[in-house]
Structure 1
């Protein structure tokens, strides 16, 4: 049973990281106001939100399965308070930080109508910090880090996110408000 939990924990972490990568890319694309191939902008927004929620579900499965695994030796405190774990506390702590940031984004997303758009957006900016922290956790704590398939995912994800961020910060990035008004920079 422990081997099954350990394998499920690894796979769910991998899937969560891949889905969060896609979510970051779709979030940046959504902010630009551009369509994706044949998908209109509102579909990109829904896809971004649903993929982020699915990534969060897999993150919960990742943490939950490792809590049940006797090899991982996680306890509930390790899940909430970073850098206290018994196995590689720094790298495990980065995973805890990423989890805490994801929870902050999810909670403010659920309370968006009560806390206001400005507060939601301020916390949502943490998403830019979640991804590299989660990637560092995977690279430092992941047992598949020497596997070719994992390195391929990590490099492809890092290149895609870096390219999207460079585009996001470039002068040619078309903001949503400009797109609605039909202006192109």
Structure 2
């Protein structure tokens, strides 16, 4: 049983990272107000939310299986309080920080109507910190962190998010009514 939990913990961490990469990229695309290929803007928002939900589910699976795994020897405190772990405490602590940031974003997303859009967006900006912290955790603490497959995955993820961020901070990022009119002509 230990090997199964360990393998499930590793795979769910990798899948979670892939989905969080997609979530960050889709979040940036959604914010631009532009459709993607033939996908309307409102559908991008739904796809972004579904990616985020799936990423969070796989993150919970990642953490849960490693807490239950006797080899990993994670405690609940290791999962919630950063840098307490006995195995590579710095790298594990980064994972804990990323997990705590995800929890904050999820809670504010669920309470969005009660706390207001302004507070929601302020906390939502933490995803820009969460994603690279999670990637660093995976590279430094993950069993597969130095494998060729994972390094290629990390590079592709960095390129994807990096390209989206470059576009995010460009002058052509936001679609306005004027931009839509120019594109139609």
* TM-score, length basis structure 2: 0.95
Cα offset, 1:183, TM superposition: 6.2
| Equivalence for 2:140 | 140
Task: Please give the residue correspondences for 1:64-75 in structure 2 after superposition, counting only pairs within 5 Å.
Answer: 64-75=64-75
| Equivalence for 2:52 | 52
| Equivalence for 2:79 | 79
* Separation in 2, partners of 1:180, 1:28: 20
Contact 2:88 2:141 in 1 (8 A): yes
| Equivalence for 2:35 | 35
Structure 1 position 61 matched with structure 2 position 61: yes
Task: Please give the residue correspondences for 1:69-148 in structure 2 after superposition, counting only pairs within 5 Å.
Answer: 69-148=69-148
**Residues paired across the two proteins, number:** 183
* Separation in 2, partners of 1:181, 1:148: 43
Cα offset, 1:181, TM superposition: 7.4
Contact 2:139 2:146 in 1 (8 A): no
Contact 1:30 1:41 in 2 (8 A): yes
* TM-aligned CA distance change 1:53 to 1:160, over 3 Å: same
5+ long unaligned stretches in structure 2:
none
* Separation in 1, partners of 2:25, 2:12: 20
* Separation in 1, partners of 2:178, 2:80: 41
C-alpha RMSD over aligned residues: 1.5
SS of the residue corresponding to residue 180 of structure 2 reads coil
Deviation string 1:148-179 (CA, Å, 9 cap, x unpaired) is 2111110000011011111101112125xx25
Cα offset, 1:146, TM superposition: 2.3
| Equivalence for 2:171 | 171
Cα offset, 1:180, TM superposition: 8.4
| Equivalence for 1:182 | 180
5+ long unaligned stretches in structure 1:
none
* TM-score, length basis structure 1: 0.95
Consecutive aligned runs of 4 or more in structure 1 exceeding 6 Å deviation: none
